[in-house]
Amino acid sequence: MASSFDSNGAQRAPHLRLVPNPLESASSSALIEEARAFDKLGRRAEARDLYEQALHAMATPSPALASTLLRWIARTYEVDADYKAAEDCAIAAVATAEQDDDRNALGHALNVLAAVRWRQGDLDHAQELFQEALDRGTSTTDPRLQVDVMTNLGTMASIRGDFREALRYFQDALAHGRLYSLLDNIVVALNNLGLANMALGRLDAADDAFAEALTIANALGGLSTRVQLEVNSASLQIEKRDFAEAARRVDRAMALAEHLDDARANGEAQKVYGIIARETGDLGAAETHLTQARDMAAAANDLALEGDTNRELAELYGQLGRNRETLQALNRAHGCFTQLRSRHELADVGRRMARLEGDFLEVVRKWGDSIESKDYHTQGHCERVADLAGALAARAGLDETSLFWFRIGALLHDVGKLIVPAEVLNKPGKLTEEEWALVRQHPAAGEQMLADVQFPWDVTPMVRSHHERWDGKGYPDGLAGEAVPFAARVLCIADVYDALTTERSYKRAFTQIEAIEIMRREIGKQFDPLLFVKFEELVRRGTVNAPAAVQRATPLRRSGAHATVTVSEDDDLTGALVRRAFVNVTAAVLAERRRTGAPVSLLVIDVDQFKSVNDTFGHLAGDDALRIVAGVMRDLLRPGQYVGRYAGDEFVVLLPGMDTTSAEAIAEEIRRTAAGMRIPLREQGERSMSVTLSIGVATAPEHGETFEALFNAADRALFDAKRDGRDTVSSAGASAGEAPQLVFNRFVGRAGELRALVTALDQSVHGVPQTRLVIGEAGVGKSTLVRQMLPETRLRGAVMVTGRAMESETRPPFGPWAELITNVHTLGIAPARDWPLLGRIAPVLRSSTTRPAAEGSIDPLQGHQLLQELVAFLRAASEARPLLLVLEDMHWGDSASWDALEYLLVQLVTERICIALTVRSEEAAYGMVRERRQRLTRDERVRELSIERLTSVELGEWLQGALHRSELGDDLLDFVLRHTEGNPFLVMQLLRTMGEEGVFTYADGAWRWTIPTSLALPAGMTDLVGRRLSRLSPESTRVLVTAAAIGRTFTLGLLLEASGAPTETVLDAIDAALATSVLEPARDQDDDSYQFAHALLVDAVLTSVSPARRRVTQEKIAEILSRQTPEAVDRIAAHYANSGNRSQAYLWCRRAAARAMTLYALDEASHFLQLALQHAATDEERAEAHDDLARTAEQSGRWADVERSCDAMLASQAIGADPRRALPVQLR
């Protein structure tokens, strides 16, 4: 288009010229109307001409209209991928709007300019412009602008691959569009929602979005939009494997596209036709359609479509076995996506590139298999060479991207052998001169075979020159020194090493030591001296035998007519010593120990829940985990210390000269380092997992003088570590022959329930939030079941965070949420920002400027904002790590906590949040808990898990594990089942009582039992626990009573002051309670915090003393808390209410009610005020309490309660007798 000049003689950009106007008389409004119609039909060139004619025809200059027309022109250029023209028009639109100070026009123009900037690859500037469009333009309350900007921000989130964030923007855009009936914007938002849901695997949600969008678009009549929606919907049906429906939808798209001159739309349709044909077996038609789609995409300069189509073609060629064409198509796709990545144009381009690279590997591996199929002596050769050469190249400094393509070249380095007859390759004797000449042709032949495949990284030097030598005596070109390409020099070393260490038709397999010695003689001759130094470093570190990318089997090495297997000293996967080699080394070290007297320690290490790793992420991910764990051990050990792979996921470490204490330190360092390692998940972007280790330690001579004795002792310690919850180090205790410890605290059964929780967690980690209500009777093991999820959460890179509702007459508002929020904050995964309302629940979130004393009651709007802050806090934390939120004992939860849970569930859409709450079945059947449960389960993402008592089989498994027996008689099982009915808590208490009564004895290496007929057991659970507590000293019992009065969880400092006992007495009491499993260290708390192992134990301890003693203890605790933590008004009020001190109970209950009002927890405020009323001593106090109750009821809208409180105030002497005070009450 030729340049033109404006009226002042200034040159105008070609795409901003005003076209000659043959319709001088036509009104600009008519031209605009016609242009909009052409624009909707996709006839953008004609629309542009009409827009420019409208500019020319404007009788009265209107900057706002001119800016709008320029913006529309910019949009047409943007769609046509003419980004320079689009940029010029958008800048002109911005300048025109600023000239008129029209904020609305300015916002729209900035929005278009931002879209152009991101198309040009300037993503950061685009983000700034979008934000400026919101800030400068949306003060005009133009809903269309807000919707446009939110849509664009969602699209940018898609480009970054953050589809969950994109989904939130698109949902906001849809909500605004619906609110203001912006039908065209609604269609765009629904289309984007469909695409985002497809990317997240939510196919039904995507189907719903596309269906609604099509309904509206058909009514509006926009052809381009309808075609795109039909094509997207067809792609969705392909994902759902409904090819017949996909074909019907793309047929509709093509019928509509006949009225458009839109190469992009036609290309999309042809691509979908091609995929359908390929997937239904019509490969010829598939090639025709996909080739047409590729050519149309190229003509339309649509790199995204061209890249996608080339990838689909590659898959087709792969099915047809056309390897060269497959690689050509993949290379073309890679080129398209590389350009799009640089311009930030394609949604989730990183994931698409990773998928492409996986396709490359698959194709070249298949080609490599075809090479090796001709020579059974080289099975796995290309893969092994690629592994070792890649490790050496990385050691030499090759970057990650180059390493990938280096591996491609390594896998293809022998592709030229396809020209060599199989009988030559497998000839057992010496080759003739003619045969040897033929073999020497394979590097050049390989280069020729790959000549028309343009790889992103030049791999041909590796194929052609891997038989060149440093001294210039190689082939085919006789290159020497640095003239030999670097990649070929690296490959040469790896190729020779593998040839030496595997059996060939012409030689035996050399050992690693022999191979290295042979290769050393060739330094400076065949091999680059500097590279060989790095190669020897890899050999010393064990990297040579550790594949870098995939699991592979060690090939069978054949010799003559008899097959033999040569076993390496190192494990092929991890590089650790194999079991036989490790046992031999240990035997030699122990023999030397007997001469020197130095200690020798052995670690037995097990990867926790390793079966779950394989089941959840696949065996390749499991291999990665084992490789990384082995690497951690090697890195932390010194020369002369050895690591071996004993079995699948079990390792052993030998530490000569180290006693138990030193070995424990090393074991702890290995455990801690391994737990902190992030293990990337293959083909899953930035997702990763982690594993933990359980470690047993044994030392010679204390635990034996042979490998078998040390291993058995360390293995028993390993069992103790797993029993203690895994992810820990345990040292062997008793010497051989001594009785092993009876361990009654066990977890058995519940496989189905645990699997259901794991499934819910998996769904949540993938962006589909789930909630599970774990329901069962007291003591049945609800919390124990949920705690088994801890290793599963770690495995998935998630975190488990707990908040517990406490049994109390007064329930602090948001009690479990306060603990949970505090624990999330402690993990450091939530953003450090000001949370003004949420800080009232969890003081750790308060900023330094917040003054708690100044906090007043909040209104309903602020109450809603508080819940919004809770959702925002957890949402932000879940973006850092997936969350498993555990709300324990919610049958004791306050109303505000249930409200928060219900609100959170409604807000969750794609957040990586899983919620598990435990509820007693006795409480779940009636009252508030029943109502809440019914409301929650209306959500399809909420399901109930009913936990039943243990079966006889499960109980038998428990007893076998506790007593280290493989078989049990019926007597013990029947006795335990009869007295406990399978309730796990009762089982544990009964077994402990039996142990203390001397029922179990150890003789002849086994536990035995005799159940005397005189053994009288208490009838009830409380009596059973009371009998066990009676075995403690009176001093310990008094300390535990004080602890129970504090609550289920308590700190050592508070217990010391409240009990008044000497420190040693308190510590002795805690030790005794820990030893009998009455207490346990508090999870997620500091080292000086403890908790009762079960809420039932708290009840049992408190009922063991008189009510008078309980009241005195409660008052003392309240006095201490009021001095130490006066802000804990809820706890203080509860203790005073239980103490019988009426004046203090009245005072603190009113304070607790006031705090509840600051959180808009109206039910809890009313509860505290009712308690205050019960403890009021005068008419004046009762009137004050009723007045507060009336105010709370007013905010809740409970007018009958307001009337009752007012009547009570008027009936009191304090107010009824004083007309001035009575009148305001009467007017309420």
Alpha helices in 375-441 (DSSP H): 381-395, 400-411, 422-425, 433-440
- pLDDT at residue 141, rounded to an integer: 56
Q: Which CATH number fits domain 1018-1092: 3.40.470.10, 3.40.630.10, 1.10.3720.10, 1.10.10.10?
A: 1.10.10.10
Scanning the structure block, which residue is given the tokens 């009241």? 1111
Q: Distance of CA 69 to CAs 50, 74, 111, 188, 736, Å?
A: 10, 9, 14, 21, 91
- pLDDT at residue 801, rounded to an integer: 93
Lowest mean pLDDT among 87-101, 565-579, 704-718, 979-993: 565-579
- pLDDT at residue 1116, rounded to an integer: 93
- Most confidently modeled range among 317-321, 1010-1014, 1016-1020, 1157-1161: 1157-1161
Architecture of domain 142-219: Alpha Horseshoe (1.25)
Alpha helices in 1047-1089 (DSSP H): 1052-1059, 1063-1075
By the 10 Å C-beta count (0-12 exposed, 13-18 middle, 19+ buried), 7 is classed as exposed
Contact between residue 858 and residue 815 where contact means Cβ atoms under 8 Å apart: no
Pairing of strands 913-920, 770-776: parallel
Q: In this prediction, what percent of the chain has a pLDDT beyond 90?
A: 14
What residues pair up with 918 in beta bridges, in sequence order? 774
1144 compared with 686, residue with greater pLDDT: 1144
pLDDT over 80 (residue 235): yes
Mean pLDDT of all residues in 331-336 = 74
pLDDT bucket at 374, cuts 50 / 70 / 90: very low
Q: What is the pTM of this model?
A: 0.49
What DSSP letter does each residue of 749-795 carry, written as one string?
--HHHHHHHHHHHHHHHTT--EEEEEEE-TTS-HHHHHHTTHHHHHH
pLDDT over 60 (residue 561): no
- pLDDT at residue 15, rounded to an integer: 44
pLDDT over 60 (residue 131): yes
- pLDDT at residue 554, rounded to an integer: 29
- pLDDT at residue 971, rounded to an integer: 82
pLDDT over 60 (residue 436): yes
Please state whether 797 falls in left (phi above 0), alpha (psi between -120 and 50) or beta: left
pLDDT over 50 (residue 589): yes
pLDDT tens digit sequence for 273-282: 899 988 888 8
pLDDT tens digit sequence for 285-294: 889 989 988 8
456 compared with 693, residue with greater pLDDT: 693
pLDDT tens digit sequence for 171-216: 888 888 887 888 888 999 999 999 888 877 778 888 889 999 999 9
- pLDDT at residue 379, rounded to an integer: 53
Question: Which fold would CATH assign to domain 751-946?
Answer: Rossmann fold (3.40.50)
For the domain spanning 373-543, the CATH number is 1.10.3210.10
Beta-carbon contacts of 540 under 8 Å, excluding residues fewer than 6 positions away, are none
Question: Which fold would CATH assign to domain 577-726?
Answer: Alpha-Beta Plaits (3.30.70)
pLDDT bucket at 749, cuts 50 / 70 / 90: confident
Scanning the structure block, which residue is given the tokens 């936990």? 947
pLDDT tens digit sequence for 1012-1063: 665 555 555 555 566 666 667 888 888 999 999 998 888 888 999 999 899 8
- pLDDT at residue 877, rounded to an integer: 92
What's the 3-state SS for 225-282?
HHHHHHHHHHHHHHHCCCHHHHHHHHHHHHHHHCCCCCHHHHHHHHHHHHHHHHHCCC
pLDDT over 50 (residue 47): yes
What residues pair up with 693 in beta bridges, in sequence order? 607
pLDDT tens digit sequence for 1168-1213: 899 999 999 888 899 899 999 988 888 777 888 888 889 888 888 8
Lowest mean pLDDT among 396-405, 819-828, 1194-1203: 396-405
CA distance 416 to 321: 17
Mean pLDDT of all residues in 658-666 = 88
Q: Distance of CA 537 to CAs 516, 523, 631, 969, 1227, Å?
A: 12, 15, 15, 59, 91
Q: What is residue 1081's three-state secondary structure?
A: strand
Mean pLDDT of all residues in 621-643 = 84
By the 10 Å C-beta count (0-12 exposed, 13-18 middle, 19+ buried), 554 is classed as middle
Q: What is the dihedral of CA 660, 720, 570, 580, to 10 degrees?
A: 90
Element (H, E) at 367: helix 349-372
CA distance 976 to 955: 9
For residue 327, the 8-state DSSP code is: H
- pLDDT at residue 9, rounded to an integer: 36
Please give the angle made by the CA atoms of 232, 237 and 241, to the nearest 5 degrees.
Answer: 145
- pLDDT at residue 341, rounded to an integer: 58
- CA 1139 to chain centroid: 47
**How many C-alpha atoms does 70 have within 13 Å on its Cβ side?**
28
791 compared with 358, residue with greater pLDDT: 791
- pLDDT at residue 1083, rounded to an integer: 56
Amino acid letter for position 845: L
Average pLDDT, the chain: 80
Q: Distance of CA 381 to CAs 388, 474, 513, 630, Å?
A: 11, 21, 20, 24
- pLDDT at residue 741, rounded to an integer: 63
Q: What are phi and psi of 1131, to 5 degrees?
A: -65, -45
pLDDT over 50 (residue 547): no
pLDDT tens digit sequence for 1092-1132: 877 778 887 888 788 888 899 999 999 999 998 888 888 89
Mean pLDDT of all residues in 301-311 = 81
> Per-residue b/e over 1010-1034, b at no fewer than 16 CB within 10 Å?
eeeeeeeebeebbebbebbbeebee
What residues pair up with 1008 in beta bridges, in sequence order? 1001
Question: Which fold would CATH assign to domain 12-140?
Answer: 1.25.40
- pLDDT at residue 100, rounded to an integer: 75
